[in-house]
A = this chain, B = another copy of it.
Amino acid sequence: MKNQQWRLSSRPEGLIGPEHFERGMETVLDLTAGQVLVKNLYLSFDPTQRGWVNDTESYMPPVAIGEVMRAGTVGQVVSSEAPGFSVGDLVQGLGGWQEYFVSDGGLGLSKLPAGITPQQALGVFGTTGLTAYFGLLDLSDPKPGDTILVSGAAGATGQVVGQIAKIKGARVIGIAGGPEKCRWLVEEAGFDAAIDYKNESVDAGIQRLCPNRINIFFDNVGGDILEAALDHLALNARVILCGGIAGYNAVTPVPGPKNIMNLVITRSRMEGFIVIDYLSRMAEFLADMVPWYQSGKIIHLEDVQEGFDAIPATLQRLFSGQNQGKQLLRLADPV
Contact = CB atoms under 8 A, between A and B. Distances in A.
A125 to B, nearest CB: 23
A253 B227 CA distance: 12
Given A269-B270, A270-B270, A271-B269, A241 B263 contact: yes
A243 interface: yes
Given A254-B258, A258-B255, A264 B244 contact: yes
Interface stretch (A112-120, A146-154, A157-165, A272-280): A272-280
A93 interface: no
Contacts of A267: 271-274, 277
B244 A260 contact: yes
B264 A270 contact: no
Contacts of A242: 264
A268 interface: yes
A257 interface: yes
Nearest to A258: B253
A123 interface: no
Given A227-B256, A244-B260, A272 B277 contact: no
A269 B222 CA distance: 16
A135 to B, nearest CB: 10
Nearest to A139: B269
Contacts of A226: 260
Interface residues of A, number: 33
A137 to B, nearest CB: 16
A263 B258 contact: no
Contact of A264 (B227, B256, B264, B272): B272
A268 B269 CA distance: 10
B257 A260 contact: yes
A259 interface: yes
A261 interface: yes
Contacts of A27: none
Nearest to A57: B265
Contacts of A322: none
A247 interface: yes
B258 A256 contact: yes
A237 to B, nearest CB: 10
Interface in A41-99: 58-59
A266 interface: yes
A198 B267 CA distance: 31
Interface string A273-304: 11001000000000000000000000000000
Contacts of A247: 261
The 8 A-B residue pairs with the shortest CB-CB distance in the complex, in nearest-first order: A256-B256, A264-B272, A263-B272, A253-B258, A256-B257, A269-B271, A256-B258, A270-B270
Given A267-B277, A269-B270, A253 B244 contact: no
Contacts of A241: 260-261, 263-264
15 contacts: A226-B260, A227-B256, A241-B261, A244-B260, A247-B261, A253-B258, A260-B270, A263-B272, A264-B274, A265-B272, A266-B272, A267-B273, A269-B270, A270-B270, A270-B271
